[in-house]
Structure 1
Amino acid sequence: MKIGNLEFPERPVFLAPMEDVTDIGFRLLCRQFGADMVYTEFISSDALIREIKKTKRKILFSEEERPIGIQIYGCDPDTMVEAAKICEEADPDIIDINFGCPVRKIAGKGAGSGMMRTPDIMLEITERVVKAVNKPVSVKTRLGWDDNSKIIVPLAEQLQDCGIVALTIHGRTRSQMYKGDADWSLIREVKNNPRMHIPIIGNGDVTSPEITKQRFEETGVDAIMIGRGSIGAPWIFEEIKYFLEKGEHMPMKSFSWYLNVLKQHVQESVNRLDEMRGILHMRRHLAATPLFKGIPDFKSTRIAMLRANTLEELFSIMDEIPVKYEDYIQSSFVKSEELMV
């Protein structure tokens, strides 16, 4: 499968751009575990052209992350063009336009999925960005604004006509936010539209190897993008790749192996930021990780982890988990001596 000049293996799986999640440390981990392409956090075009330091740092990446896309959002065509040119100087593999974020502070101002209410401006932005940069441009969007305005099928053709090289579709409307089940039927309809010739990437509620395989088979999409299913679980890409190739689940590693991956992520976050900010940044991953789900009477330990303020305190709590919950862990995990280096 190709996106522009980028070549990917059959049935590639990408890491979705997520605010406060897909920073450089997490992207590198996901690439390490097999993500075929990663994206930056979504970046405000307004903040980027105003040279806000925090925003400018978001477009930085390492060579080990390639292929990588920088994603920008905004509602003003001139500002989006200027921001795209700034991103081009950072030399990503792709510039991606966010027409899909549903959060109020973005969509409520007409950006992100707020663009579903102004498709003419969406198309103007897309066409102008494509013409303004020499990098391939892709788009990520949703089905529509609400159930009464699911415009993605004709909109996909129009976006393609603007010159984009790929289209990612999240299977919800903006009004749904992240509630309810993602609807992949319209994603399938876009993919099966004979006029469409660019790759279609499906997104929404892909949280396991089985679901990934099912979505590929039922919709024929060219790639799948994983978002929330990867938070606190960067190893999901390795599990998916194994299942797609062999048709069976990858042998489960030891609990300590998964725990060490999380600790590695925490340590990297602390090294990159500082102790307090690094731990704060990791709380979302520690709260969402599936590693601790199902452990009986785990609530007090979870609260203690999320309240820890020092690396020593946090690692001490995490190191006690295999001992404190030994009976559950031994009954639920295949024993393995393999540890993260």
Structure 2
Amino acid sequence: MLQIGSVVVENEVVPAPLAGISDKAFRLLAKEHGCQLVYTEMISDKALVYNNDRTLRMLDLSGEEYPVAVQIFGSEPETMAQAAKIAVEHGAALVDINMGCPSPKIVKNGEGSALMRTPELAFRIVEKVAASVPVPVTVKMRKGWDGSNVNAVEIAQGVVEAGARALTIHGRTRDQFYSGQADWNIIAQVVAAVQVPVIGNGDIFCPADAKRMLETTGCAGVMIGRGSFGNPWIFSRTIAFLQGKYLPEPSIGERIATAMRHLETVVRFKGEEIGVKEMRKHLAWYIKGAKGAARAREEINREEKLENVKAILRKFLQEQ
């Protein structure tokens, strides 16, 4: 069980909020595979406040099962508070503040993981957001900015004091991006330093990794990012594994059937042109490692029509 303020979920496995990944179709799949708490992609505070159409579509939670957390990013306390209010009006059960994104275009504006270099500003943002919304406010952050600036413990204590009701810690510095090994020891240090639930993130690629993280760090939950690419089964398999049950890896038939359904769902929500294009990376992940995957991927990347992509996937399955 994972309890964040008034939000209680029965299992401790959550999918990471990831730009270009955690859209409505992905969230529905994650829920289907047992995740009770899911997150939106990170959403710009300014774009929300200025009523940007594309951004408001990212905030469409209609038809989704409670609870959904909305992750916002920005660097101005007032604007972040306004954005948080809009998120709650659209159904956010939690508002998550992004202090972990390493992307150069985000950090150059002092947002994402750059906030770990300006602790006082980070604390003011959390304080302002927490005071402006009736739902729990959480923070996702990294180990620190770089190897010389590892300050996750200090930032964690400060944001909790400012009103954060839970934290997610990715065990890498901003400089590492997604390379090297995640430092789970920093997660354990944060767990020991604060009185709110801490969710551990980094290097969970199979159910046994999740169990090991929970046992070695004492964290309250595990967040799975890259391990779920083309692999929503990691959620259901991990939830089962933590309950002492073993679910087998999906067959190639199951993988293709789910890939097909994922594709159709994205096209339904975003239209054929955008949907087919956005699903190319996902489909490459679904078929990775199977015979003829490279050729099928090249064919898919040239296609713009839903039916043609489905035909490639059916042919690919026949050849296995």
Please give the range of the TM-score, normalised by the shorter of the 2 chains. Answer: over 0.9
Q: CA deviation at 1:296?
A: 4.1
> Whole-Å Cα distance in 1 between the matches of residues 78 and 209 of structure 2?
40
Match of 1:329 in 2: none
1:209 corresponds in structure 2 to 207
Identity %: 39
How many residues end up aligned between the 2 structures?
A: 319
For residues 265-307 of structure 1, give each alpha carbon's deviation from its aligned partner in whole angstroms, at most 9, with x where no partner exists.
1011111121121111111211223xx3333443212211222
Q: Report the 3-state secondary structure (helix = DSSP H, G, I; strand = E; otherwise coil) of the residue aligned with 1:48.
A: helix
Larger CA Rg, structure 1 vs 2: 1
Question: What is aligned with 1:331?
Answer: none
CA distance in 1 between partners of 2:129 and 2:318 (Å): 55
Corresponding residue for 1:318?
A: 313
> Distance between the aligned counterparts of 2:88 and 2:241, measured in 1?
36
Pairs within 5 Å for 1:237-316: 237-246=235-244, 249-289=246-286, 292-316=287-311
The whole-number CA distance in structure 2 between the counterparts of 1:128 and 1:54 is: 26
User: Counterpart amino acid of 1:245?
Assistant: Q
Partner of 1:19: 19
Counterpart AA for 1:205: D
Deviations 1:46-74 (A, max 9, x none): 11111110011111103533211011000
Q: Is the 8 A contact 2:61 2:91 kept in 1?
A: no
- Contact kept? 1:286, 1:306, Cα under 8 Å: no
Tell me the secondary structure at the aligned position of residue 246 of structure 1: coil
| Aligned residue type for 1:322 | L
The 2-side partners of 1:305 and 1:40 are apart by 26
| Counterpart residue number, 1:199 | 197
Question: Could you tell me whether the CA contact under 8 Å between 1:14 and 1:36 is conserved in 2?
Answer: yes
Which string of whole-angstrom CA distances, capped at 9 and with x for unpartnered residues, describes residues 24-54 of structure 1?
Answer: 1110111011112101110001111111100
The superposition leaves residues 117-150 of structure 1 with CA deviations (integer Å, 9 ceiling, x where unpaired) of 1111111111111111111101101111100000
Which consecutive residues of structure 1, in runs of 5 or more, have no partner in the other structure? Answer: 326-341
Counterpart residue type for residue 4 of structure 2: I
Q: Distance in 2 between matches of 1:169 and 1:306?
A: 35
Q: Which runs of 5+ in 2 are unaligned?
A: none
Superposed counterparts of 1:115-134, under 5 Å: 115-134=115-134
Matched, 1:218 2:216: yes
Taking the aligned partners of 1:46 and 1:64, their CA distance within structure 2 comes to 25
What is the CA–CA distance in structure 1 between the aligned matches of 2:144 and 2:161, rounded to whole Å? Answer: 19
| Cα distance between partner residues in 2 of 1:165 and 1:252 | 35
Tell me the TM-score normalized by structure 2.
Answer: 0.96
- Distance in 2 separating the partners of 1:294 and 1:134: 46
AA aligned opposite 2:220? D
- The residue number in structure 2 matching 1:333 is none
